[in-house]
Amino acid sequence: MPEKKDKKTANQKIEEKLFLKRKSSWLGYTPAQEKAVFDFCDGYKKFMAECKTERLCVRFIEDSLKKAGFVDIGRAVKIRKNDRVYKKIKNKVIIACIAGSDPASFRLVGSHVDSPRLDLKPSPLYESSELALMQSHYYGGIKKYHWVNVPLSVHGVVFTKSGRQVDVHIGEKDADPKFIIPDLLPHLAQEQMKKEAPKVIEGEDLNIVAGHIPVKDDDIKEKVKFSLLKYLNDAYGIIEEDFNCAELEFVPAVKPADIGFDRGLVGAYGQDDRVCVYTSLRALLAVKNPAHAGLALFVDKEETGSYGDTGAESFMLYNFAGEFAAKSGLQVDPAAMLEKSKSVSADVTGAMDPTFQSVNDPQNVSYLGRGVSIEKYGGARGKSGTHDAHAEYMQYLRAMADRNGIPWQTGENGKIDLGGGGTIAMLLSRYGMDCVDAGPCLLGMHSTCEVASKADIYSAYLLYRAFFED
Ligand code: MN
Ligand code: MN
């Protein structure tokens, strides 16, 4: 055996200094760090099992904030240094803030609590072929064929005619019934299989099986629908018209799980963007006395374009800044306060998929395990419709990540003429504040079970924490 040379040549030393190298975070972990990663992700999986909808996320966040001493800003008379306040908006958005020692500008991390799912149509219920079914209208960008043959659970609210709110949560417990959209059997799918993928299952085909046993009464025409409505009325006091005043969301009844023999990955529904929700929440809760006001923004409606009263398009952040400034006794215009803030749009991006490598430029894509992805811009085809972070701000974040030993990477979401994807970065940056996208990369994004690296989840947490503390 020739002796191994441990001395590097002069050029090898130069190469080491000059070349960009990104490697798996796992290679650099001590056993203690690796344990911290696994422990953190155990908490994350519990959160993901519990928080399948935006309302459930907001409930979880509010509970966590209250336990950590945050108070409703509506009840706060005066906000002092390091006070902890939050504002909940319509049970779908929550804004949490630690005033810090200089509350005149924010360090803001914004994520979204909504994920693609199947909502019900306003009048969903019908009977056909000895089944009672519910018509859905999908929410967000999905490959519709993913959502067939997958056991579903349902979460949401219904209002009775008298105005009573009924909370519905069925399908997460082992003993609970589930719901399903059966696909056509392959034996009879010759025509279906000739269709283009978006039409293999169309929007109007996403009909959810909800009941089967008919009432034994010849005078009733729709016997299965009758049984189902009778059940719903007995159990919840609701009638068919109440579906007009409801938000019932069907989501995969998939439990978060470790993926792979080595358990290095997490598979779960809704990691876009709840991985950033959990990591930024944990980061805010870990911060003690920040220099600037640390603000975690958890918004709704990102998957449908951020419009609406609970979307990032709305004035809720501006309104919060106004209330926060007034109660902090700051003589400052909320717009000016937001303008001099710094922000991270905490959202996921696509990971290099070993089976579908051709959609990415291998040199400009995020890889699982290489750390949180800090993405300068998200748009494609000439950077259309994107926020493009300044080099100055990229440098600020790089220096912060390096100072804190946080693994990070960068990339684009797909090839130039293919890819792109929206986040709330544009809506944060419109105030004039610095902003950049940063979050873990995922495989199978927007599917019923998305995959993330535990290393990247932890690295996102570390980045958001360092940012709040900076
Ligand atoms: Mn997202
Ligand atoms: Mn998304």
Question: Using CA atoms, how far apart are residues 446 and 427, in angstroms rounded to an integer?
Answer: 22
Ligand 1 mean position to 346 CA, how many Å? 8
For residue 378, what pLDDT is reported? 83
d(CA 414, ligand 2 centre) in Å:
14
Instruction: Identify the nearest ligand to the CA of 424 by its number.
Output: 1
Residue with tokens 């169309």: 202
Report how far ligand 1's centroid is from the alpha carbon of 116 (Å): 10
Distance CA 366, CA 375 (A): 9
Q: Which one of the ligands is nearest to 440 CA?
A: 1
Instruction: Select from 301, 296, 320, 323 the least CA-distant residue to 312.
Output: 301
Structure confidence at residue 5 (pLDDT): 61
Ligand showing the shortest atom-to-Cα distance for residue 441: 1
Report how far ligand 1's centroid is from the alpha carbon of 206 (Å): 23
- Asked if 99 contacts 83 with a C-beta cutoff of 8 angstroms, the reply is yes
182 CA to middle of ligand 1, Å? 28
Identify the nearest ligand to the CA of 445 by its number: 2
Q: What is the pLDDT of residue 227?
A: 98
Closest by Cα among 249, 244, 245, 241 to 159: 245
Element housing 37 (H / E): helix 31-50
CA of 415 to the centre of ligand 1 (A): 19
Q: For tokens 């199978």, what's the residue?
A: 444
Distance between first and last Cα of the chain: 51
Q: What ligand has the least distance to the C-alpha of 439?
A: 1
Distance 56 CA to ligand 1 centre (A): 17
Report how far ligand 2's centroid is from the alpha carbon of 466 (Å): 25
Alpha carbon distance 254, 48 (integer Å): 10
The protein residues having their C-beta less than 5 angstroms from ligand 1 (an ion) are 272-273, 347
Report the separation in Å between the CA atom of 305 and the middle of ligand 1, taken as the mean of its atom positions: 10
Ligand 1: distance of its center to the CA of 452 in Å? 13
Calpha distance 272→302 (Å, rounded): 10
Q: Are 158 and 148 in contact (CB under 8 A)?
A: no
Tell me the C-alpha distance between 192 and 179, whole Å.
Answer: 23
**CA 114 to centroid of ligand 1, rounded, Å:** 8
- Residue 116: nearest ligand to its CA? 2
Sheet holding 246-252, edge to edge: 165-170, 152-159, 246-252, 117-128, 131-139, 207-211
Q: Among the bound ligands, name the one nearest to the CA of residue 273.
A: 1
Encode pLDDT of 234-273 as tens digits. Answer: 999 999 999 999 999 999 999 999 999 999 999 999 999 9
Long-range Cβ contacts of 67-76 (<8 Å, 24+ apart):
68/285, 70/96, 73/97, 73/320, 73/323, 73/324, 73/327, 76/327
pLDDT at residue 421 in the model: 76
72 preceded by a cis bond (ω within 30 of 0): no
For residue 253, how far is its CA from the centre of ligand 2 (angstroms)? 19
Distance 116 CA to ligand 2 centre (A): 7
Measure the CA dihedral 343/346/348/352, to 10°: 50
Going from the Cα of 421 to the center of ligand 2, the distance in angstroms, rounded, reads: 8
- The bound ligand whose nearest atom lies closest to the alpha carbon of 112 is 1
E strands of 187-308, at which residues?
Answer: 207-211, 246-252, 257-259, 265-268, 292-299
Amino acid at 439: G
* Size of the chain, expressed as the number of residues it contains: 470
pLDDT digits (tens, 9 = 90+) for 375-407: 999 877 888 888 899 999 999 999 999 999 999
DSSP for 405-426, please give it: T--EE---SS-TTT-----SHH
The stretches in the chain having pLDDT less than 50 are none
Tokens coding 168: 């519905």
Quick check: helix, strand or coil at residue 259?
strand
CA of 330 to the centre of ligand 2 (A): 36
- The per-residue pLDDT for range 24-58, each reduced to its tens digit, is 999 999 999 999 999 999 999 999 999 999 999 99
Segments in 237-313 forming alpha helices (H): 271-286
- Tell me how far the alpha carbon of residue 276 lies from the centroid of ligand 1, in angstroms: 9
pLDDT for 335 equals 95
Q: What are the two backbone dihedrals, phi and then psi, of residue 264, each rounded to the nearest 5 degrees? A: -80, -15
- Measure 77 CA to ligand 2 centroid, in angstroms: 38
Integer CA distances (angstroms), 98 to 37, 69, 294, 318, in order: 26, 10, 5, 17
Distance 455 CA to ligand 1 centre (A): 19
- Pairwise CA distance, residues 44 & 26, whole Å: 19
Distance from Cα 303 to the centre of ligand 1, integer Å:
7
* Cβ-based neighbour number of residue 35 at 10 Å: 11
pTM of the model: 0.96
The ligand that comes nearest to the alpha carbon of residue 304 is 2
Output the CA 273–ligand 2 centroid distance in Å.
7
Domain residue spans of the chain: 20-115+269-469, 117-252
Cα 289 to middle of ligand 1, angstroms? 29
Looking at the CA of 140, name the nearest ligand: 2
CATH class as words, domain 20-115+269-469: alpha beta
Please tell me the predicted confidence (pLDDT) of residue 422: 85
Classify domain 117-252 at the CATH class level: mainly beta
For ligand 2, the distance from its centroid to the CA atom of residue 450, given in whole angstroms, is 11
